[in-house]
Amino acid sequence: MISVAATIGLADAIAAAGGRPDQVLHAVGLDASAIADPHRFIACADFTRLLEAAARSTGDQCFGLHFGERFSPKDVGPLAYVVLNSPTFAVGFQNIARYLRIHNQGTEVSFAAEGPRAYVRFRLVEPGVDDPRQHDEFTAAVGLNMMRLMAGSRWAPAEVQFAHHAPRDTSEHVRLFAAPLSFGHAVNALVIDPEFAERPVPAADERLYAIMKEHVDRIVREMPREVDLLSSVREVVAHAMRDGDPALARVAGRLALSARTLQRRLREEGTDFKRLVDDTRQRFAIDYLRDAAQTVTEIAYLLGYSEVSAFNRAFKRWTGAAPSEYRRKAGWLD
């Protein structure tokens, strides 16, 4: 799955390039509602096929590159702010590798310094995609945008490596990356100077970094290493809690499923939606209570409860004790 936030501006980009967004979406079995809510998720394979279909429809063989060029990394959400405020560029790259699955489960990223060069490598791991060129060029362009937000608008990598074969015309790639290009590699990579990777990020906000990193750490820490459906539902529920009660229809919509289909698939996994939400809230509640700076009222709000009394009743049902009593007995108060 990949966050629909990755498609922000896609319809406009298709129209600006002379294509029809509705036709492109229809070509991969989607409609406008599938990409209307940036908090939803779609299959990463569908996103990849969308970019390929857009390239065919518009006649722009560099569509993925051009869309990535105009895409704002900040639209990715909390992950972007963790990266942009990392203490060094290397830590920023490591954070992308660690937290990317919150936004995109279909792409792997790694960072390694190897002799005179360092590599930010990325590859699509979603099966069933025949030609990921548009996706890979989109990802490289977004990565470049992220780096230029961190290092300055004139920053350029030492080299850009692509896994796909070289297209006939690479003039747009040269214009955008302002760096040597090579093709036919095992994986894609932005190549940089290892010394540069260890530099501090000039505009990083240490306080904001700590806040955002704790937020994404909590999501990663509390999400069990379940596979496929259960892990996806838990992640969507964790995000939805911040905006209020994580209702079934809302969570199902963000997974591009009907409520009935989601319920059926959860039953096949031996659980149901209410139990999954309950368990996720309990995990987060106990973790929040460890932080003495968080009041019970604030925790209730973070878990999506409209009233503190409802949170108190739920917590007592889970643990046999009220939140304040549980915190006191655990010794988590100053």
pLDDT tens-digit series, residues 178-205: 999 999 998 999 999 999 999 999 999 9
Identify the structural domains of the chain with CATH numbers, from first to last: 2-197 (3.90.1520.10), 223-330 (1.10.10.60)
| Closest by Cα among 264, 283, 282 to 273 | 264
- Would you say 52 and 126 are in contact if contact means Cβ atoms under 8 Å apart? no
pLDDT of residue 334: 56
- Would you say 116 and 29 are in contact if contact means Cβ atoms under 8 Å apart? no
Task: Compute the distance between CA of residue 257 and CA of residue 260 in angstroms, rounded to an integer.
Answer: 8
Among 6-15, 60-69, 76-85, 255-264, name the one with the lowest average pLDDT: 255-264
pLDDT of residue 143: 95
Residue 44's pLDDT band, with cuts at 50, 70 and 90, is: confident
pLDDT surpasses 70 at 324:
yes
- pLDDT, mean of residues 129-157: 92
pTM of the model: 0.69
- pLDDT, mean of residues 305-325: 90
With 0-12 CB in 10 A as exposed, 13-18 as middle and 19+ as buried, what is 324?
middle
- pLDDT, mean of residues 278-282: 88
Upper half-sphere CA count for residue 307 (Cβ side, 13 Å)? 4
pLDDT surpasses 50 at 311:
yes
Among 12-16, 128-132, 230-234, name the one with the lowest average pLDDT: 128-132
